[in-house]
Amino acid sequence: MDYIVTHKGTTRRGFLKTGGALVVSFALPGCAVRPVGTAAPLPVAGGFWPASVDPASLDSWIRIAADGSVTASVGKIEAGMGIGTAFAQIVAEELDVPLERVTIVMGDTARTVDQRGTGSSNGITDGGSALRRAGAEGRGALVALAAEHLKVASEALRTRDGVVFVADDPSRRITYGELVGGRNFDVKVSERPKTKDPREYRFVGKPLQRFDIPPKVAGAYIYVADLRVPGMLHGRVIRPPEAGAKLLSVDASARLPGLVQVVRRGDFLGVVCEREEQAIDAARRLPVEWSRPAPMFWAGYDDLYRHLRATKPKASKEEGVKGDVDAAIAQAARVVEARYEYPFQSHASMGPACAIADVRDGGAVVWFGGQKPYPARLALAELLQLPGEKVRVVWMPGPGSYGMNDADDCAADAAVLAQAVGRPVRLQYMRSDGTGWDPKGPPIAFRMRAGVNATGGVFAWDYEARGFSGRTRNNGTEVAGDTLAGQLIGGHQAKITHWPQWPSESYNFPNVRKASHTIDWDRSLPTALRTAHLRDPDGMATCFASESFIDEVALATGSDPVEFRLRYLSDPRDIAVVRAAAEKAGWEKRAGPRPRDAGRYATGRGIAYAPRNQATVAIVAEVEVDRETGRYRVTRFTCAHDCGFVVNPSNLRGTIEANLIQGMSRAMHEAVRFDPTRVLSVDWLTYPIVDITEVPDAIEIVILNNRVEARSRGAGEPATRPVAAAIANALFDATGVRLRRVPLAPEGLLAAMRVQESGRV
Amino acid sequence: MRGRAMAEPIEMTVNGRRERLRVEEGTPLLYVLRNDLGLTGPKFGCGLAQCGACTVHLDGTAVRSCAMPVKSAQGAVITTLEGLAKRSGALHFVQQAFIDEQAAQCGYCINGWIMTAAALLDDNPNATDAEIRRALSGLKCRCGTHMSILRAVKLAGERMAVARKA
């Protein structure tokens, strides 16, 4: 489904040569690609697009063509979890049309309602609910029209497969295409239209195959990197070699093959060439001189965490304060204290970002793969100094997403290059621009304390996080200063907010304090260590600290980790996932680590859980550790997952598995390396991620609370959250060694095991 | 263009078609396939032969086209993801198994996995779990779809083994 650009009636090769047209197309499950829809020309710069698509109008959401095919539009995007198929299921359900007649259009500021875009796993909760209402309203409008046409009362009518018919006489019928084909509904979407009784669902809740996978396996799914626009040139950017370096000089007259223009604005530098490989070559060979600024970063993570712990915060906030923690800890029979650390991490999307921009005739069209096209439109209009109505941003599938990756910066860079040359420019970043320069997930240093009384009860819980805020962009690229281009060109301010970082588990302790301090990091904005949302922003870090510490406190009180959690948890859904995960995993009760045997390989199991925006997840990780090398493998994950009613269980399974594996990668391997002057993680060798040789033998998933009455909650991120803590807890169970810093690297584990052994001697 | 432009055109057979192109000989094969021949199945992932997103079959072997100068493909027979299905349109066993196992998230890496797995199973459909993991090691998937990829490759191998016996 999704947004596929192809050329109806010609080969794709022909499309690439002619520039072609935009067609929204999809494939039937298991079949080859089957283009449908109406060919529309690619939008060109200079057009006028209204400031917004009216959310109150049904025509903004649903259009029915004369042949009965349905186009549903939504202000969300497909991040790769199959949401396009889920949206089609919802529309087909409410509208009562065959699933394969539905095409979904996403994230085009000129054609889809401004829902800001996708973020915080809100595709189903916001986009799905809007489409459900629109579908229901549409069906109601069609029935009303049919009542007029067939001269019967609406109540006497039924709908099925795009046809309205008289219940008592199905031969009296009229198709949706005949009723409104190609015309507007001219109806408003009401707040609560009559939606279908979930007991009658035919599509929603079913494990249907995704529409986007058949074209993906055939090489026919068109990503933004595959789009070709007539007359387009190829661009590449040249980044400062050191953080904060200023562009001193560039030889813009350099004679390089295919070079059309060197584009310099402030410290922004790029080249535009006729061919792609020429642009790559020109960016490498262009003579450039940069300043040597004073070092902005640290010697390494020890320094960085010291900085976070020692620096006066820019913003501090407390949440969930209960009782008097300091007094309680002062009276405690025993105080448990631990520090945890979580590093900078990169989105490191599978492909570096790509965007195509056409900026001329007083307007702009920009195709990009970012999650939030609507704020990006504002930022690009400001950057290009154009009225918003003259800028159109069109989302197309990107090479992986996971938050605020390099996509928005790429769109801005492409726009600056295109504006300079007056022709469409395709910019695909190099790997070093992608991994090296994407905005990073922020590092956080934690201090945890718990007060335990004489009978082993926990009566004080003290959580403190000190980190860089992940909100150097305000949940979307809204202003020019939010982009690297805006920062490098200069004269633009970013929309920074300081967003607190704390966990959300429902443990009920008598005295609680959760404090979050964010440290100033504004000067990082034109550097490769600026921060932004990375999948489940801060969630994996905060859960790593708090759920590792829960295990440490359980140990201190002589409790089994599952029993300990169940003793203090208060939310019934949280209790249910912890129970279900433990049961499914065959949890062996034990206080303290598994007794050591003489073997080289040690095994262990650990649990962690986390709620996230009304979803909740518990994970049991099982590990096998090589005691001689410190190398280890997660052999099995068991995940209990409650996100309410599931629109597509097959998609959910794929999404959970991918969350667990990506989470495992982040937990085991990932930390952005840097030295005092620059980021050193620039490719897959310097920013390693999980390899297929390491993935578990099995992942078991238990879905809870999947009832039509339970409101659907976002599943795009929750299963990521507890992964690092679950693995750390399993490593402790296997070895008796507690790792308190991510990544949970074999070197660190081995060193800690050696210390432990020497302590025993 | 100066200097290294080829006097002789590059000739190669791509997805069953003879192609004759004049391009600078050091141009990575990937850009020729994508930009001159319009074949976007192979993707740019890293340009460093570290991820496999650009994988194509060159004379039956899986190679990384981002790091291969086009002159190395002179006279070669190349198959891209677009050409992996039979002329009848029937998908390769590996492609079909990826659909059946729903083995994709964003799908940007899928070309590398399918092309590498197809080359492996064409040689040895009975590859074990360990052999499959070893053969696919080094390919990157950032979304984390490895579990479904493993299931898909095993399923394809089983089907291919059955088909060979038949």
Chain B interface includes A280 (CB < 8 A): yes
Predicted local distance difference test score (pLDDT) of residue A16: 33
Q: Residue B108 and residue A210: Cβ atoms within 8 Å?
A: no
Distance of CA B27 to the CA centre of its chain: 18
**Mutation for testing the A interface, residue in B50, B146, B148 having most A CBs under 10 Å:** B146
Q: What is the Cα–Cα distance from A578 to A619, expressed in whole angstroms?
A: 8
Domain containing A177 — which CATH number? Answer: 3.30.365.10
Q: A13 contacts in B (CB within 8 Å)? A: 37-39
A129, A272: one domain: no
Please give the pLDDT value at position A719.
98
A352 class by beta-carbon count within 10 Å (0-12 exposed, 13-18 middle, 19+ buried): buried
| Alpha-carbon A568 to chain mean position | 31
Give the pLDDT confidence score for residue A475 in this predicted structure: 77
- Window 321-360 of A: residues touching B by CB (8 A cutoff) are 348-352
Helices A723-735, A746-760: axis angle to 10 degrees equals 30
Nearest to A403 by CA among A444, A348, A354: A348
- Residues of chain A contacting B34 with CB distance shorter than 8 Å: 226, 276
To the nearest whole Å, the CA of A209 is away from the closest chain B CA by: 7
Is any Cβ of chain B less than 8 angstroms from the Cβ of A683?
A: yes
Q: Which of A31-40, A400-409, A540-549, A590-599 has the lowest mean pLDDT?
A: A31-40
Task: Specify whether A506 is located in the same domain as A637.
Answer: no
Domain match, A452 and A578 both: no
- CA–CA distance from A104 to each of A72, A73, A178 (Å)? 5, 6, 21
The answer to whether the CB atoms of B114 and A217 lie below 8 A apart is yes
Question: How far is C-alpha A432 from the chain's CA centre?
Answer: 21
**B108 to chain A: which residues are within 8 Å by CB?**
223, 349-351, 398-400
Q: Of all residues in chain A, what percent carry a pLDDT higher than 90?
A: 91
Same domain (yes/no): A156, A211: yes
pLDDT score of A612 more than 80:
yes
What is the Cα–Cα distance from A430 to B125, expressed in whole angstroms?
36
Query: Distance (Å) from the C-alpha of residue A220 to the closest C-alpha of chain B?
Result: 7
* Domain with A87 in it: 42-221
Instruction: Give domain status of residue A600, yes or no.
Output: yes
Residue burial B65-100, b: 16+ Cβ < 10 Å; e: rest: bbbbebbebeebebbbbbbbbeeeeebbbbbbbbbb
One domain for residues A686 and A587 = yes
Q: Residue B51 and residue A280: Cβ atoms within 8 Å?
A: no
DSSP conformational letter for A164:
E
Among the partner residues B45, B105, B108, nearest to A654 by beta-carbon distance: B105
Is the domain of A686 the same as that of A698? yes
Of B85, B89, B141, the CB nearest to A350: B141
Q: Which of A405, A407, A54 is nearest to A393 (CA)?
A: A407
| Sole residue written with tokens 């100066």 | B2
Mean pLDDT (chain A) is 93
Nearest to A226 among B40, B133, B149 (CB): B40
Inter-chain touch A431–B46, beta carbons under 8 Å: yes
CB B51 within 8 A of CB B109: yes
Residue A522 CA neighbour count, 13 Å, CB half = 12
Shared domain for A175 and A79, answered yes or no, is yes
Q: How far apart are CA A399 and CA A250, in angstroms?
A: 32
Q: Is A603 helix (H, G, I), strand (E, B) or coil?
A: strand
> What is the spatial distance between Cα A372 and Cα A398, in angstroms, rounded to a whole number?
12
Which residues of B are less than 8 Å from A220 in CB distance? 82
- Which position has the token pair 């790997």? A431
Q: For residue A414, what pLDDT band results from cuts at 50, 70 and 90? A: very high
Preferred mutation among A33, A259, A350, A684 to probe B, highest tally of B CBs within 10 A = A350
Band of residue A476 on the pLDDT scale cut at 50, 70, 90: confident
* DSSP assignment string, A46-90: T----S---TTBGGGTEEE-TTS-EEEEES----SSSHHHHHHHH
* Nearest residue of A to residue B4, measured between CA atoms: A257
| Mean pLDDT, residues B47-60 taken together | 98
With 50 as the cut, is the pLDDT of residue A31 above it? no
How is A604-647 classified by DSSP, letter by letter? EEEEEEEEETTEEEEEEEEEEEETTT--EEEEEEEEEEE-SS-S
Nearest CA in chain B to A259: B1
Q: Would the pLDDT of A38 be above 50?
A: no
**Where does residue A9 rank: exposed (0-12), middle (13-18), buried (19+ CB within 10 A)?**
exposed
| Residue A437 identity | W
Q: Could you tell me if A707 lies within 8 Å of chain B, comparing CB atoms? A: no
- Contact across the interface for A400 and B108, Cβ inside 8 Å: yes
Nearest to A683 among B48, B104, B145 (CB): B48
* Structure-block tokens of residue A84: 């396009």
Cross-chain residue pair B134–A217, CB shorter than 8 Å: no
Residues of B in contact with A273 (CB under 8 A): none
- Chain B hits for A260, Cβ within 8 Å: none
Is A552 a member of any domain?
Answer: no
Over residues A213-254, the pLDDT tens digits come to 999 999 999 999 999 999 999 999 999 999 999 999 999 999
Mutate to test the interface with A, among B15, B114, B143 (most CBs of A within 10 A): B143
Mean pLDDT calculated for residue range A262-271: 98
pLDDT tens digit sequence for A165-184: 999 999 999 999 999 999 99
In a domain, A627, yes or no: yes
Nearest to B107 among A30, A212, A665 (CB): A212
In chain B the first and final C-alpha atoms are separated, in Å, by 55
Whether residues A205 and A248 share a domain: the answer is no
In the structure, what pLDDT confidence band is assigned to residue B32 with cuts at 50, 70 and 90?
very high
User: What mean pLDDT is predicted for residues A424-446?
Assistant: 98
Instruction: Tell me, yes or no, whether A569 and A680 share the same domain.
Output: yes
Please tell me if residue A221 touches chain B, with a CB cutoff of 8 Å. Answer: yes
Q: What is the mean pLDDT of residues A18-30?
A: 33
Q: What is the largest CA-CA distance in chain B?
A: 56
A371 contact B CB<8A: no
Q: What is the mean pLDDT of residues A640-663?
A: 98
Mean pLDDT of B30-37: 98
How high is the mean pLDDT of chain B? 95
A290-328 per-position pLDDT tens digit: 999 999 999 999 999 999 999 999 999 999 999 999 999
Encoding tokens for residue A47? Answer: 């057009």
CA distance A357 to A392: 10
Asked whether the beta carbons of B108 and B45 are under 8 A apart, the reply is: yes
- The distance of A201 to chain B (nearest Cα, Å) reads 23
| Residue in B closest to A207 by C-alpha | B102
Task: Indicate the residue of A209, A218, A684 with minimum beta-carbon distance to B51.
Answer: A684
State yes or no: pLDDT of A8 exceeds 70: no
Mean pLDDT, to the nearest integer, of B108-124?
Answer: 98
Q: Give the helix ranges, DSSP H, for A338-450.
A: 373-384, 407-421, 431-437
CA distance B47 to chain A (A): 7
**Domain match, A254 and A156 both:** no
The C-alpha of B139 sits at a distance from chain A's nearest C-alpha, in angstroms, of: 7
Q: Are both A366 and A497 inside the same structural domain?
A: no
Q: Which residues of A touch B145 (CB under 8 A)?
A: 654, 657-658, 661
pLDDT on residue A393: 97
Encode pLDDT of A144-157 as tens digits: 999 999 999 999 99
> Which pLDDT does position A15 carry in this prediction?
35
Interface residue A172 vs chain B (CB under 8 A): no
**Predicted confidence (pLDDT) at residue A36 exceeds the cutoff of 60:** no
Global pTM value: 0.95
**Per-residue confidence band for A12, with pLDDT thresholds at 50, 70 and 90:** very low
pLDDT at residue A3 tops 90: no
CA angle A365, B44, A76 (to 5 degrees): 45
pLDDT of residue B3: 42
Q: Does the residue A276 lie in any domain?
A: yes
Residue A103 tokens read as 């095409």
- Within 8 A of A228 by CB-CB distance, chain B residues are 38
Quote the ipTM score. Answer: 0.97
Q: Name residue, tokens 């000089």.
A: A249
- Comparing A46 with A30, the larger pLDDT belongs to A46
The reply to whether A393 falls in a domain is yes
Kindly state whether A245 is in contact with chain B, defined as any CB-CB distance less than 8 angstroms: no
Among B147, B148, B150, B155, the residue to mutate for chain A (most A Cβ within 10 A): B147
* Of residues A61, A91, A69, the one with CA closest to residue A23: A69
Give me the domains of chain B, ranges plus CATH numbers: 10-83 (3.10.20.30), 93-165 (1.10.150.120)
CA dihedral A221, A222, A224, A227 (to 10 degrees): 170
**Least CB–CB distance from A665: residue in B31, B103, B144:** B144
Mean local confidence (pLDDT), A46-70: 95
- Give the end of a domain, one of A404, A421, A437: A437
Q: Residue-wise over A71-89: b if at least 16 C-beta within 10 A, else e?
A: bbbbbbbbbbbbbbbbbbb
Mean pLDDT of A347-362: 98
* Residue among B105, B110, B134, B155 with most chain A CBs within 10 A, to mutate: B105
The pLDDT tens digits of the residues spanning A708-735 come to 999 999 999 999 999 999 999 999 999 9
Q: At residue A274, does pLDDT exceed 70?
A: yes
Q: Is residue A29 part of a domain?
A: no
Task: Check whether residue A373 and residue A459 sit in a common domain.
Answer: no
Would A580 be classed as within a structural domain? yes
CATH number at residue A484: 3.30.365
Contacts of B48 in chain A (CB under 8 A): 431, 683-685
| pLDDT mean over A613-635 | 98
Q: What is the mean pLDDT of residues B47-65?
A: 98
Tell me: pLDDT of A35 over 50: no
Tell me how many domains chain A contains.
4
Residue A210 confidence (pLDDT) above 70? yes
Res B5: pLDDT: 55
- Give A79 to chain B, closest Cα distance, Å: 6
Whether residue A127 contacts residue A74, with contact meaning beta carbons closer than 8 Å, is answered with: yes
Half-sphere exposure of A166 (CA within 13 A, CB side): 11
Task: Return the residue of B nearest to A222 by Cα.
Answer: B40
Give CA–CA dist A760/B12, Å, rounded.
Answer: 67
The answer to the question of residue A546 being in a domain is: no
- Yes or no, beta carbons of A399 and B104 under 8 Å apart: no
pLDDT at A23 (0 to 100): 35
Please list every residue in chain B whose beta carbon sits closer than 8 Å to the beta carbon of residue A225.
40, 43-44
Mean pLDDT of A521-527: 94
Q: List, as ranges, residues 5-24 from A with C-beta within 8 Å of B.
A: 12-13, 15-17
Indicate the residue among A204, A221, A238 that finishes a domain.
Answer: A221
- What distance in Å separates the CA atoms of residue B9 and residue B24, rounded to the nearest whole number? 9
Residue A153 DSSP code: -
How far is it, in rounded angstroms, from Cα A262 to Cα A258? 11
